[in-house]
Amino acid sequence: MSFVGLLIGGIFYPPIGYFMLICMIAAMAYGVVKGRSWCDWMCPRGSFFDVLLKPFSRQREVPGFFSHWVFRAVWMTVLMSVLAVRLPPLWGDWYSMGKPFVTLLLVTTAVGIIFGLIYHQRIWCMFCPMGSMANMLGRKKQPLLVASGCNGCGQCEKVCRMQIYPGAYKEDGIVADGDCLKCSYCIDECPQKALRLDQ
């Protein structure tokens, strides 16, 4: 509910939009150390989607192009271009400079809700610009390890909010997908106890 308050508050008091900037920096900084751990529950929007959107989501498989790097790059370019165009005319007016951030927060949250209802509540996280940056910066940080005891049952994939299948990496023994949220849901679900996070 705090995220909803943030959205509404930003409409009436634009400087609240700077909170988005703080989250952007935090996601990348945390990504350098622990990959996408920030996106698990510390991201206010991610938690909002898990709590309020999940009951209404169709929980369908998300089409691969949403997480493709070309789509991510285009989406990031569009959002950064909006800031690049809207911020300079407001430069120096610290009250009004929060408005572009509030606008982006509202628009991207609406996008996340719409596609989250159609597919999966965490679809936004699959092409979130800051999540993508955390992916690149921390791809090898605290990776998920897959032991030889994995029998490919697929239980791990069923609980993964990023729709990653750890069993597909059992030959290499390490999940190379940088979008892993390090949430341990798959570890708790694995009947063979074949998964663990490398500390």
82 and 161 both lie in a single domain: no
70: CB partners within 8 A, 6+ apart = none
86 and 174 both lie in a single domain: no
114: CB partners within 8 A, 6+ apart = none
Quote the tokens at residue 62: 């998300």
DSSP 140: T
* β-bridge mates for residue 58, sequence order: none
Among 110, 138, 166, give the residue marking a domain's end. 138
Per-residue pLDDT at 140: 86
Domain that holds residue 22: 2-138
Three-state secondary structure call for residue 174: strand
48 and 120 both lie in a single domain: yes
Per-residue pLDDT at 1: 56
Per-residue pLDDT at 139: 86
Residues 105-125 as b/e (b if ≥16 CB within 10 A, e otherwise) read: beebbeebbebbeebbbbbbb
188 and 157 both lie in a single domain: yes
19 and 69 both lie in a single domain: yes
Per-run averaged pLDDT (10 residues), the chain, 199 residues: 84 92 90 93 95 96 96 95 95 95 95 98 96 92 94 96 96 95 96 92
148 and 129 both lie in a single domain: no
Quote the tokens at residue 144: 């998920």
* CATH number, domain containing residue 170: 3.30.70
Among 93, 119, 138, give the residue marking a domain's end. 138
120 and 155 both lie in a single domain: no
13 and 61 both lie in a single domain: yes
Q: How far apart are CA 165 and CA 159, in angstroms?
A: 10
52 and 69 both lie in a single domain: yes
85 and 14 both lie in a single domain: yes
22 and 96 both lie in a single domain: yes
Domain count along the chain: 2
104 and 174 both lie in a single domain: no
